Amino acid sequence: MNILVVLTSHEDLGNTGLKTGFWLEELAAPYYIFKEAGAKLTLASPLGGQPPLDPKSNDPMFQTDETRRFEADKEAIAALANTIKLADVTVSDFDAVFYPGGHGPLWDLAEDKNSIQLIETAIQTNKPVGLVCHAPGVLRDVKGLDGKPLVAGKTVTGFSNTEEDAVQLTDVVPFLVEDMLKANGGVYSKVADWQSYVVTDGLLITGQNPGSSVATATALLNALKG
């Protein structure tokens, strides 16, 4: 079982002068869910090499058992430091694809042609795709075989407008995940802010927020098992 994990290469939080990137819990928790299920993981990013970590996600307030385990895991840290370039990925080498969030993907992966093609090809070849928190934002320009947005008519979730408002980045991000999913015809739903919530619609699996990381990864494994 081979799973591709796609991370952002974008580190600037708009024009704030602050840094962003991927959210550590959204990589670390699924990483161990997949590993313990016997999966072989390959990490990729648009630029390859070390993806930027959102510094806030490493704040003691947001650390979890899984993030501490990841940071003490030499093999995991080495894999993260050496992500392959997204352009070099062959979809047929993998059984499933997983996208951790963080705000970074809204800037680069949402418009990255390799990421868009990767998701379109994965779905067309019957491979499940899981995305958590801000990562459903990378579906913005992804199309189905009918030429319509992939999410059109599908049940989906992702980081909610109220959660974005709570972290005071509504006016900083290039677009709001909830608004985009709705505008593209997605049947969006959510639960209370910061509660775990995951939606599966066929091969598409989306989670609402960082706390949904475990549930999203588990749902991806369930989709793989058929």
pLDDT at 226 over 90: no
Crossing angle between the packed helical segments 24-36 and 213-225, to the nearest 10 degrees = 40
* Alpha carbons 66 and 203: distance in angstroms, whole number: 26
Report pLDDT digits (tens) over 202-222.
999 999 999 999 999 999 999
pLDDT tier at 15 (50, 70, 90 boundaries)? very high
Short-list 118, 3, 109, CA closest to 47: 109
Question: For 2-225, which CATH superfamily applies?
Answer: Class I glutamine amidotransferase (GATase) domain (3.40.50.880)
Whole-number average pLDDT of the chain: 97
* Residue 138, C-beta contacts closer than 8 angstroms, at least 6 positions apart: 99, 105, 109, 110, 112, 115, 116, 119, 131
* Alpha carbons 45 and 21: distance in angstroms, whole number: 11
pLDDT tier at 14 (50, 70, 90 boundaries)? very high
- What is this structure's pTM? 0.97
Short-list 172, 211, 219, 173, CA closest to 191: 211
Q: Assign 66 to helix, strand or coil.
A: helix
- Residue 211 has which token pair? 């706390």
Mean pLDDT of the region 96-105: 98
Report pLDDT digits (tens) over 122-180.
999 999 999 999 999 999 999 999 999 999 999 999 999 999 999 999 999 999 999 99
Percentage above 90 pLDDT, the chain: 98
Residues comprising the chain, all counted: 226
